[in-house]
Structure 1
């Protein structure tokens, strides 16, 4: 949960109401004890863990930006149900503003081996908006009641999830069994179910309180986040540290220490400083620029119609960024089939392209226009002109963006994608960096989000800056606000501009 939400927060960098405090938990004893439960329960309860939960401070490039609280055990008074609690609190400065987010999940499972997820409550506060999702799982699907302040409750019916109780803590289950664990997890933001695999690694020796101790090690990878998360667990069951790539870590801390946060200015901390300004042709259409980069993993070096990669002998990579309007001969009428199989036309609890308000506005904007690119330009232009640029107004759902009519790049992109899909145009969000020179005069790449639409061929567009063709200052590294970009934050470098 931490990697996905933190990456989203870093791209958004906004402010909302202060997050409520985490539930009070007792200090974990020096020797954790296994949960008391019948012998026929899942291995997730047999694994040792601190009683009363555990806190971990969340660090980005060694700066404290939040904390995590985790707990798992039998539901009080019941031996047939397991409760898992996971919380993430994020707080950082963005210039003179504060971005703050709280995300809390409580899940209830059957306690037996392979026990199914039966209910969940997800609460969100602060950056991204405020809502509570109360879900009930049945053999045929999930019924989710969505509660938002000042609005009528909504009920959303979703496909079934395959998540089971062992998936609530795959790391400790894998270390207990000394075997890899494969399962799935319901994502707390879009309510999709994604494959989750945890692999046991050789034990390591680590310094804990100045003493070398043997610790278990396991690596988990979700199909949603695609970020290897490495966990280190002491023999007594304490989770000592989690690594999300090279630049983000969660470290076990007492509650008071975990909640004591640094004052971190995220833009300055995470930006990619350039050795010199980009040339003017980078911002022209058509346009091009070449950058020599360091610390760009091979998995990100996938050639596209906009980005080409040439590995250099010294381990660096030459990246050529280009931008041009779609070829007129390739343009097609809408509605179009999604070349990726349909996922870029889907509605979700976040995108909401089947919501009546979204569909009505989309129809109003495109009218009877058949050409998909012309329709897409109309939508991008409307969003650019009608959404106020406001870093203090965050929303994670398209209808909330439409209602408040303000936000930054994530709100502009989310509403644009929703309107495009409603118009029968396949579309998705793109996460990456864009060239800017801020008040300090330093040329740099800043984390940003824009959109990509299929109009007969794929084309990138930026509704935040009203660009119907996103110029070559945009460098995309991920899609749909997931955590794939997390390992690059704070580590990606540009050493030459050509």
Structure 2
């Protein structure tokens, strides 16, 4: 199994990619070089040219090495410049390359985005090409944007092209590099970004911070500082930009960083085993009652930020004087008196019944499979159990055969925890059961015999009350070995990776 998909700098998920790209596309870095004449001219550009072209940046793009807990797992290349021969158009390029060992397999992922904008102030996004290769599948998305909507053609090897029509996006050229625009203006920047994985448009904001002094090659230099936050990822990304326009470093919390490096250095990656690097080692094994239904276990944790300490029907938090927190995890089947027939209204306003380019719950193949599994069963919980059991017993457990769309999972019928959860949520929504994915950690003892919590993904369904279910391990009630910290692959949990500690098991 692997980390949830939006944890940007890890391999183990495609939208792990999206954080690195959405945030890195606003900042860049490379070896120090003299400022080219073209950049000097850009500084003197007329008012009709966007500030994104007036900001200094290295000519020819920048490379950054990506580090997880000080181990190099990939690199990013970014560039932004006028299109040769087209003074009215700007091209933004972002590439993410990831490679790491996951168990006995090697996970590799390449995600490349090219976006074309109008060059004037608040020039709109007019076209884009998104290429994905390796873990998660191979596909190309070719998009055309207009004030009335976005049309995307999806191309995959051996399959017919598909066209998806989406609402218009509010993304403009300044959003391609909010950090440099904010530092140039010395003012905060608010905008939006069309996400490279689910093609939704999300708010994006960058806040300017006071200039700092940092050591660069042993010399103190003044650097601009700005913090960007995406409505989708919710992870503050801090950028440090030199006066000549080079991005020196990006910080994704304490455990993930991107550092400016020459191309040949950026492309030299460490051999990293992600399971061992990111797991949370326990002081002892969990007791048997953690595995039963009903069941319970209590853990004492350190370095769990307060924003994650929200009581739920499964998890209760009790802060301790030393800064640690006692977490009680419990699991039980939903109360029979609370169960309701399907279709159900979503208690959160409908978002847990929505379809998307990833969930695809309105796809005819998904609907047909869901109805075949559920048949005439009206009780929502009974129907949900049928879907979870079918996914658990039908999908082959296979890391490296991953997919980013529910229909691809249905077709391939194999994958790890993210594929199991994605297809389950899609099938549940298709038969009128509100559902969402849950990201967190689960207890396991691997071949080395060390009891630990490993990053995992499972699902939560509303059947009259919320209940968590794990289609990877065929649990119609997820037991108390599951500790949830986020929803829907949200990269907000990224700073916990490599930092969360369990100091006591009760």
Normalising by the residue count of structure 1, what TM-score does the alignment of the two structures yield? 0.95
Alpha-carbon distance between aligned partners in 2 of 1:13 and 1:146, rounded to the nearest angstrom: 17
Gaps of 5+ in 2: 17-28
Give the equivalent residue in structure 1 for 2:26: none
Give the equivalent residue in structure 2 for 1:31: 35
Give 1:76 shift.
1.4
Give the equivalent residue in structure 1 for 2:20: none
Structure 2 counterparts to residues 36-51 of structure 1, below 5 A: 36=42, 38-51=46-59
Give the equivalent residue in structure 2 for 1:73: 81
Length, aligned pairs only: 486
Q: Is the 8 A contact 1:242 1:249 kept in 2?
A: yes
Give the equivalent residue in structure 2 for 1:237: 245
Give the equivalent residue in structure 1 for 2:142: 134
Deviation digits for residues 1-36 of structure 1, max 9, x if unmatched? Answer: xx935366346899xxxxxxxxxx997623353564
Give 1:484 shift.
1.1
Classify 1:161/1:335 alpha carbon distance in 2 versus 1 (closer, same or farther; 3 Å).
same
Q: Is the 8 A contact 2:397 2:414 kept in 1?
A: yes
Structure 2 counterparts to residues 422-433 of structure 1, below 5 A: 422-433=430-441
Q: Which runs of 4+ in 1 moved over 2 A?
A: 3-14, 25-39
Give the equivalent residue in structure 2 for 1:20: none
Alpha-carbon distance between aligned partners in 1 of 2:123 and 2:199, rounded to the nearest angstrom: 19
Give the equivalent residue in structure 1 for 2:342: 334
Alpha-carbon distance between aligned partners in 2 of 1:70 and 1:299, rounded to the nearest angstrom: 32
TM-align CA RMSD: 1.7
SS in 2 for 1:444: strand
Alpha-carbon distance between aligned partners in 2 of 1:282 and 1:332, rounded to the nearest angstrom: 28
Q: Is the 8 A contact 1:27 1:254 kept in 2?
A: yes
Classify 1:137/1:442 alpha carbon distance in 2 versus 1 (closer, same or farther; 3 Å).
same
Give the equivalent residue in structure 2 for 1:4: 6
Give 1:138 shift.
1.4
Alpha-carbon distance between aligned partners in 2 of 1:219 and 1:253, rounded to the nearest angstrom: 21
Q: Is the 8 A contact 1:267 1:446 kept in 2?
A: yes
Give the equivalent residue in structure 1 for 2:369: 361
2:497 equivalent to 1:489: yes
Gaps of 5+ in 1: 15-24
Structure 2 counterparts to residues 56-455 of structure 1, below 5 A: 56-455=64-463
Alpha-carbon distance between aligned partners in 1 of 2:10 and 2:380, rounded to the nearest angstrom: 29
SS in 2 for 1:402: helix
SS in 2 for 1:4: coil
Q: Is the 8 A contact 1:6 1:90 kept in 2?
A: no
Deviation digits for residues 128-158 of structure 1, max 9, x if unmatched? Answer: 0011001111111110000011100000001
Q: Is the 8 A contact 2:118 2:173 kept in 1?
A: yes
Classify 1:161/1:76 alpha carbon distance in 2 versus 1 (closer, same or farther; 3 Å).
same
